[in-house]
Amino acid sequence: MTAKKQATPAQLAARFKKGQTGNAKGRTPIPQDVKEAAKALTVQAIDTLRDVMLNGRNDASRVNAAVAILNRGWGAPTQTLDVDVNHKQDWSALLTALDAHNAVKQLTAEENAPLVIDGAAVETDASL
């Protein structure tokens, strides 16, 4: 088993404090003249990508150029994400307590009566 290296005082001082960010002002904006110069070269850039796509030395460069052209013309494809939202938690105790609360609330005519929910703790298997 290897021993964990201890941070030096200089490394500890250089760390961000809890709640701090390393870039509070955000990304530095691109100067307007740089944006305009890049936009002025758009046609040439597309022509270069087209040339690489058609005449590139290998498949990877041709595919990358084709993808770059498609993304600029049609936008990047949407990302899909599979999420498993099945919870293995027993909610019956909470639902029973809420039902009892609602039944008492309906029977009680006093609007200023304190609302109390009675319930019991249910232990669940932590591996679920």
The C-alpha atoms of residue 122 and residue 87 are separated, in whole angstroms, by: 16
Task: Give the residue extent of every domain in the chain.
Answer: 31-76
pLDDT confidence of residue 28: 87
Residue 37 has pLDDT above 80, yes or no: yes
pLDDT confidence of residue 47: 92
| Lowest mean pLDDT segment, chosen from 14-18, 49-53, 104-108 | 104-108
Residue 51 has pLDDT above 90, yes or no: yes
The C-alpha atoms of residue 70 and residue 64 are separated, in whole angstroms, by: 10
pLDDT confidence of residue 52: 93
Task: Find, among 116, 121, 47, the residue nearest to 90 by Cα.
Answer: 121
69-90: per-residue pLDDT in tens? 888 888 888 888 887 777 667 7
Task: Find, among 43, 50, 47, 44, the residue nearest to 66 by Cα.
Answer: 50
